[in-house]
Amino acid sequence: MSLQLSLRQLEIFVRVAELRSFSEAGKMLHVSQPALTRSIQQMEDSLGARLFDRDTRKVELAAVGVRLMPIARRILSEFESACGEMAQFVEGLQGKVHVAALPCVAAALLPSVIARFRKSHPNVDFRISECLSQNVAEAVTDGICDFGIAVLPTENERVDCQHLIDDDIFMVCRDDDPLVSEKCVPWSVFTTRTFIALGRNCSVRATTQDTFRELNLDIKPHYECQNIATARSLVETGLGICAVSGLMLPQIAFGNVVGRRLIQPSRSRSMGVITRSGRQLAPAAQAFFETFVSHAVQIHRKIVSGGDKLGVKNRN
Per-residue pLDDT of the chain (316 residues; tens, 9 = 90+): 567 788 898 999 899 998 888 888 888 888 888 899 899 999 988 888 899 988 767 888 888 889 999 999 898 888 887 776 677 666 666 788 999 999 999 999 999 999 999 999 998 999 999 988 888 988 998 889 999 999 987 667 788 899 999 999 999 999 999 999 988 999 999 999 999 999 888 889 999 999 999 999 999 999 999 889 999 999 999 999 999 999 999 999 888 999 999 999 999 999 999 999 888 888 889 999 999 999 999 988 888 775 434 444 444 3
Together in a domain, 142 and 132: yes
Together in a domain, 41 and 26: yes
Together in a domain, 25 and 159: no
Q: Comparing C-alpha atoms, which of 30, 4, 2, 49 is closest to residue 12?
A: 30
Together in a domain, 194 and 214: yes
Together in a domain, 21 and 46: yes
Total structural domains in the chain?
3
Together in a domain, 172 and 245: yes
Task: Give the CATH number of the domain where residue 298 resides.
Answer: 3.40.190.10
Together in a domain, 160 and 284: yes
Cα separation, 151 vs 136, in Å, equals 9
pLDDT for residue 306 = 58
35 inside domain: yes
Pairing of strands 52-54, 59-61: antiparallel
Together in a domain, 260 and 276: no
Together in a domain, 42 and 120: no
Length of the chain: 316
Contact 241/195 with Cβ under 8 angstroms? Answer: yes
pLDDT for residue 308 = 37
**Exposure string for 155-183, b = 16+ CB within 10 A, e = fewer:** ebeebebeebbebbbbbbbbeebebbebe
Q: Which domain covers residue 113, as residue numbers?
A: 94-164+270-305
Together in a domain, 251 and 180: yes
Together in a domain, 248 and 294: no
In angstroms, the first-to-last Cα distance of the chain is: 88
184 inside domain: yes
Apex 310 CA angle, 307 and 315, nearest 5: 40
Of 33, 59, 90, the position where a domain reaches its end is 90
Helix 22-29 to helix 7-19 angle, to the nearest 10 degrees?
Answer: 130
310 inside domain: no
Together in a domain, 134 and 66: no
Cα separation, 152 vs 137, in Å, equals 9
71 inside domain: yes
Apex 38 CA angle, 34 and 44, nearest 5: 150
